[in-house]
Amino acid sequence: MGDVGKKPYVVAVAIQVIYTGLFIVSKAAFDSGINTYVFIFYRLTTATALLLPLALISSCRRRSATTTATPEPTMSCRLLFKLFLYALLGNTFTLNVYNVSLKQTSATVGSAATNSMPVATFLLALLLRMEVVKVRSRSGLGKLAGVGLCVVGVLVIAFFAGPSIRPLANHPVFAHKPHSVSNSAWIRGTFLLLLACTTWSLWIVLQVPLLKEYPNKLMATAMQCLFGALQSFVVAVVVERDFAKWKLGLDIGLLAILYSAFLGTGALMYLQAWCAEMKGPVFVAMWSPLALVFTIVCSSFFLGEAVHLGSIFGGILLVGGLYSVLWGKSKEKENKITPVVLEEGQSQGEGTAVHEKDEEDELTSHV
């Protein structure tokens, strides 16, 4: 029983290690010269080749196992069109923007930016009226503070470089030709990273009603990868018409494609779903700052990147914003499920009033 209790923690750390590897090998592939748009096409094509057969096998097994009372949901033309649009947003647009911006910044900034995703998801859910902020409550103030920290963190990364930390390795594992990035490109790349994280967060929010309409998660993911691969092919052909540059060799580019497809898509999808089922989605999100720490060390050692103090400080602010929003969410959940113990001779309405007054008094004392 003790070993079972430790498994979610081991899996949570493994997820962040996989994310770290994804940032490192992708950045190394882009620095080696592979076209980012071609890279996305190959990544989504490989992910489709992995997920689609598994989804078809799983659907066949479900059809044979389910009764006529609970039939397997079917793919309608309307649903296919919706999956096509979601793939355009979550795969084609988001991944291409993210990788272009990663090429213009660093693996550390790319990892730091992902910590803003829960905050961006919260803001989008708020705009779509799926979330509510009670400004007079501690949970509401925690969420708003998280948004503020996130905004400040992005501004620090974009506009403040600061002194740099010397790389850990003089001869990095993934050696590449050094290239300088202008300040304007760095700023543009940072805000493009934020845009990519925002559109990815919007995609996550949209998956909730989608999976209610079509509960087969594996097939929905596989179809979005398929549509994303087709869309990314069109984008890549328009951008890179020299098909000689589409050739893959036994180099870091091929390693990055295989890693991102099999580990970055297949393994991550399964491990995150399992961990969220065991401990909840908040448990999975709260471990994401580990990837930032791992990436700072690994980018210095494997890529020879000079990590700037501004990136570290901005990343810390983003992590603070993440935890502030998660704390607000947990307190909100606590207040919803915690029963109010009534004193003898006290009615239900009086107990609720006392509970709300205590919360307001505590909030006032902090202000």
The least confident of 27-31, 41-45, 162-166, 174-178 is 174-178
Hey, what are 286's tokens? 């709260």
End-to-end CA distance of the chain: 45
Inter-CA distances, 295 with 25, 87, 109, Å: 11, 28, 9
Smallest Cα–Cα separation from 175: which of 31, 19, 298?
Answer: 31
Give the count of alpha carbons within 13 A of 165, CB side only: 15
> Whole-number mean pLDDT of the chain?
78
Could you tell me the pLDDT band of residue 48, with boundaries at 50, 70 and 90?
A: very high
**Residue 222 is encoded by which pair of tokens?**
């596989």
Q: Residue 71 — pLDDT band, cuts 50, 70, 90?
A: low
Region of poorest pLDDT, from 125-129, 228-232, 262-266, 349-353? 349-353
User: What is the rounded average pLDDT of the residues 282-311?
Assistant: 79
Q: What is the 3-state secondary structure (H, E, C) of 60-98?
A: HHHHHHCCCCCCCCCCCHHHHHHHHHHHHHHHHHHHHHH
In angstroms and rounded to an integer, the radius of gyration of the C-alpha atoms of the chain is: 23
pLDDT of 181 reads 64
This prediction has a pTM of 0.76
Name residues whose C-beta falls within 8 Å of residue 29's C-beta, 6 or more positions apart in sequence.
39, 252, 253, 255, 256, 257
**CA 155 to CA 144: how far, in whole Å?**
17
Exposure b/e, 194-227, CB count within 10 A at least 16 = b? bbbbbbbbbbbbbbeebeeebebebbbbbbbbbb
**Number of neighbouring beta carbons within 10 Å of residue 10:** 11
Whether the pLDDT of residue 351 is over 70: the answer is no
H or E element, residue 165: strand 164-165
Query: Cβ contacts of residue 302 below 8 Å, gap of 6+?
Result: 24, 28, 169, 172, 173, 174
Query: Pairing relation of β-strands 307-308 and 164-165?
Result: antiparallel
pLDDT above 80 (res 367): no
Give me the percent of the chain exceeding a pLDDT of 70.
Answer: 81
Q: Say what the pLDDT of residue 361 is.
A: 40
